[in-house]
């Protein structure tokens, strides 16, 4: 069953992480193989919630870019290096391909051989040396009967198509390194066998007599009976040699299954090759990718939780297959190539939306999932005191608290307090702890928010925060970068900002003389009281 990745936004907060876990649980109950993931390091607050309800941290999802493993390339298209040139050629012909990776007995990658190189071998090879398996010879010569005493045949070919007397008069030497072709005259065959030839190849389905068979067994001489005539045998016997014997061109370019399609196309556009072996990190060959195969892609299935803006989502989202979005924010600029399930509600937490999905499916919510969902609601609504809080949030929080068996106020204060510590963090880390980017026309805006029980720990270092905000603005081309320090006890926020943003923020909040650390009474919601006001001013520029 195909896997579906369920995840929240970058810089994951408690609502997005717990929402992804809850929705993945719901999807699995619906028969969908869903796996929750995170796009970044979780906060201490989120970690507290997960530990409280005995839930492991979801694995990190680096990106959803198309990888070579997502392409329907030719899995298990390779051939053992000891197979004959003849068998390899037939394999290529049957599969309709122009080259093939070579592997050893453990399927480890050895090299690559092309049809052109095989053709060259067939045309110009004039060597009389044979060093191959008996089995390769049997297959190459389409043997109708054979007597085998050695698994490996090594020797020089000698063609004998003369009478016994001419054979003897010409002093033709036969020994244990002779591979004799022809021998369809009884006296010649007897002589060759008695001289312990390594292999005798009889043409035209030569009918061995009982006496000849007894002599073959007595002398333990390898014999192959072929339907081909002497001329054809002499022409194709070299093709019984192992494919690995062929002199190949420069070493081939391989890719791993986890390599990105974009990187593959960049390299292949330069090399202009048609086929590329796929070899994993342990050296095992997994098949062969043809350039034409890149048109047959199975994109990764994803469900977005608590966001719908590509800039806030996983890297490579444009290469994935979005099958659903569950959110409670304004609708951004996301595009899909086909209709999807999109649930967006005007509520304070994405977990309130997910609660309704459980109800619609008639599925009960287990205690730990209920606790996680409640944690998300508490976090995003600041213990149900944020202006974004709706009657639905209040009702759902009450129901989830009953299932989770916790007191909302007591647990809520514990949860929010667990996330306010900034001990050991740099100013940059604090700002980016919960930082979101927005685009208004041609301008970029960055809005960061941190929570605290007292502004005093920030007050004495305002200059350092402003310096960092200025640098972030200059280095990343932000028109405005601001940090809202939200007091979770009094439900107010203190505003810090890059110096060039002063006039814009004064317009946004109707303040005549804005200063760093200005107290915005009752402002706690980024979604309702921060972002809309700032973007409205920027959009007028």
Three-class HEC string of 383-409? CCCCCCCCHHHHHHHHHHHHHHCCCHH
**pLDDT-above-90 percentage for the chain:** 81
Task: Give the pLDDT of residue 36.
Answer: 99
Cα–Cα distance, 486 to 495 (Å, whole number): 9
> What is the per-residue pLDDT for 106?
96
Q: Is 275 left (phi over 0), alpha (psi -120 to 50) or beta?
A: beta
**The pLDDT value given to residue 52:** 98
Q: All domains of the chain, ordered by start, with CATH?
A: 4-65+300-418 (3.90.1640.10), 69-123+245-295 (3.10.580.10), 143-227 (3.40.1390.20), 427-539 (3.10.310.20)
- For residue 168, pLDDT beyond 90: no
pLDDT tens-digit profile of 97-149? 999 999 999 999 999 999 888 888 878 776 778 999 999 999 999 998 999 99
pLDDT value for 219: 93
- Note the pTM of the prediction, 2 decimals: 0.79
Quick one: pLDDT at residue 250? 58
- What is the tens place of the pLDDT at every residue in 50-92? 999 999 999 999 999 999 999 999 999 999 999 999 999 999 9
Average pLDDT over residues 417-423: 88
State the pLDDT at residue 17. Answer: 99
For position 128, what pLDDT does the model report? 77
Give 252-282 as a DSSP string: PP-B-TTSBHHHHHHHHHHH--SEEEEE-TT
Is pLDDT at 164 greater than 60 in this prediction? no
Which positions ≥6 away from 387 have C-beta within 8 Å?
522, 524, 525, 528, 529
């Amino acid at each position: 069953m195909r896997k579906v990745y369920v995840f929240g936004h970058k810089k994951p907060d408690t609502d997005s992480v717990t929402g992804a876990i809850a929705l993945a649980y719901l999807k699995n109950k619906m028969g969908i193989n869903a796996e929750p993931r995170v796009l970044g390091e979780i906060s201490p607050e989120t970690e507290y919630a997960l530990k409280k309800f005995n839930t492991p941290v979801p694995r990190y999802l680096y990106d959803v870019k198309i990888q070579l493993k997502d392409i329907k390339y030719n899995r298990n298209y390779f051939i053992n290096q000891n197979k004959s040139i003849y068998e390899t050629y037939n394999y290529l012909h049957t599969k309709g391909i122009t080259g093939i990776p070579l592997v050893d007995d453990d399927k480890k990658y050895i090299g690559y051989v092309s049809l052109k190189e095989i053709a060259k071998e067939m045309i110009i090879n004039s060597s009389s040396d044979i060093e191959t398996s008996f089995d390769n010879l049997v297959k190459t010569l389409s043997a109708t009967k054979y007597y085998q005493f050695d698994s490996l045949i090594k020797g020089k070919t000698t063609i004998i198509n003369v009478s016994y007397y001419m054979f003897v008069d010409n002093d033709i030497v036969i020994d244990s390194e002779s591979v004799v072709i022809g021998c369809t005259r009884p006296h010649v065959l007897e002589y060759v066998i008695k001289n312990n030839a390594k292999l005798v190849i009889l043409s035209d389905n030569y009918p061995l007599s009982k006496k000849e068979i007894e002599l073959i067994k007595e002398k333990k001489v390898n014999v192959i009976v072929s339907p081909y005539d002497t001329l054809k045998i002499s022409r194709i016997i070299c093709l019984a040699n192992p494919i690995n014997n062929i002199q190949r061109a420069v070493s081939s370019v391989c890719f791993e299954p986890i390599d990105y399609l974009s990187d593959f196309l960049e390299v292949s556009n330069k090399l202009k090759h048609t086929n590329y072996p796929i070899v994993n990190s342990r050296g095992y060959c997994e098949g062969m990718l043809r350039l034409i195969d890149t048109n047959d892609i199975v994109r990764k299935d994803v469900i977005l939780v608590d966001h719908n803006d590509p800039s806030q989502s996983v890297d490579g989202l444009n290469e994935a297959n979005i099958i659903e979005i569950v959110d409670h924010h304004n609708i951004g600029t996301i595009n899909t190539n086909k209709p999807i399930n999109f649930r967006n509600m005007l509520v304070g937490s994405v977990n309130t939306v997910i609660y309704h999905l459980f109800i619609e499916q008639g599925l009960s919510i287990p205690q730990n999932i209920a606790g996680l969902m409640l944690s998300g609601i508490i976090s995003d609504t600041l213990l149900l005191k944020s202006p974004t809080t709706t009657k639905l949030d209040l009702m759902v929080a009450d129901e989830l608290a009953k299932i989770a068996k916790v007191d909302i106020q007591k647990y809520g204060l514990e949860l929010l307090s667990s996330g306010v510590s900034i001990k050991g963090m740099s100013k940059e880390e604090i700002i980016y702890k919960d930082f979101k980017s927005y685009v208004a026309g041609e301008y970029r805006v960055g809005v960061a928010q941190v929570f605290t029980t007292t502004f005093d720990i920030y007050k004495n270092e305002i200059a350092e925060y402003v310096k960092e905000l200025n640098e972030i603005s200059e280095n990343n081309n932000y028109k405005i970068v601001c940090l809202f320090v939200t007091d979770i006890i009094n439900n107010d926020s203190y505003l810090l900002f890059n110096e060039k943003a002063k006039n814009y923020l004064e317009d946004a909040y109707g303040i005549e003389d804005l200063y760093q650390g200005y107290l915005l009474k009752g402002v706690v919601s980024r979604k309702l009281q921060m972002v809309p006001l700032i973007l409205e001013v920027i959009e007028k520029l």
